[in-house]
Amino acid sequence: MSPKDRGADRETGAEEWIFPFEAELHAVSPGLHDAQSAWLSQIDSLEAPDRKTHELVRMVCTVIRRNPPGVARHAMLAAEVGATWEEVAGSIMLTEPAFGLLNVVEALPWARRGWERGRRTFRAQPDGRGKPAPAPTAGSGSRSSVGKAAKRPKTAKTAKTARNAKKATKAQKATKAR
């Protein structure tokens, strides 16, 4: 059971994990966990396709894998970067010819919940117009740990994976120094 599932809080110093399996993986093999986090961070930092398409593709993959929490998560992340419900639902519908109607029917309610949650975040963006605020540019006083990926709106996921990538890099340097 992950710290999130146990109700871990920041005051006690307990770490929070994005995925339920992370606490167990980290406890057994922190190096593997750090390497996996760095690898996922690199996937998240791809400049093409654009962030919305990236999340829609990953959502479709979770539909095919029949992973309802993954469907909700990637629908939420797609909505956070501006995907409409029609784009989310249409992407899911494209899986039907090859993977069947049952996958679509099971995924739609999860996607709707995730999309609605992401829309609330999207509407709450700092510019107040329901559009992501412009990302900071180089030299604007903000620090970026993912380099060019900072041009895209940050989500909780990309911020966490960027931190994990930094940890993995530090761990690799420390290992080489020994």
- Angstrom distance (rounded) from CA 121 to CA 144: 21
pLDDT above 80: residue 130: no
Which pLDDT score, from 0 to 100, does residue 20 have? 76
Three-class DSSP category at 9: coil
* Per-residue model confidence as pLDDT tens digits over 62-100: 999 999 999 999 999 999 999 999 999 999 999 999 999
Check pLDDT > 50 for residue 115: yes
Listed in order, strand segments (DSSP E) in the chain are none
Distance (Å) of CA 24 to CA 20, 75, 121: 8, 26, 29
Range with the poorest average pLDDT among 24-28, 55-59, 93-97, 150-154: 150-154
pLDDT at 101: 94
What is the predicted pLDDT for the residue at 40? Answer: 83
The pLDDT of residue 142: 31
Percent of the residues in the chain that have a pLDDT greater than 70, as a whole number: 61
> Burial of 67 by CB count in 10 Å (0-12 exposed, 13-18 middle, 19+ buried)?
middle
User: Which pLDDT score, from 0 to 100, does residue 145 have?
Assistant: 32
Q: What integer pLDDT is reported at residue 110 of this predicted model?
A: 97
Question: Is the confidence at residue 134, as pLDDT, over 50?
Answer: no
Identify the top-confidence range among 16-20, 112-116, 121-125, 155-159. 112-116
Q: State how far the Cα of 131 lies from the Cα of 108, in Å rounded to an integer.
A: 24
To the nearest 10 degrees (0 to 180), the angle between helices 101-123 and 68-80 is: 40
| Domains of the chain from N-terminus onward | 1-45+155-178 (no CATH), 48-141 (1.20.1290)
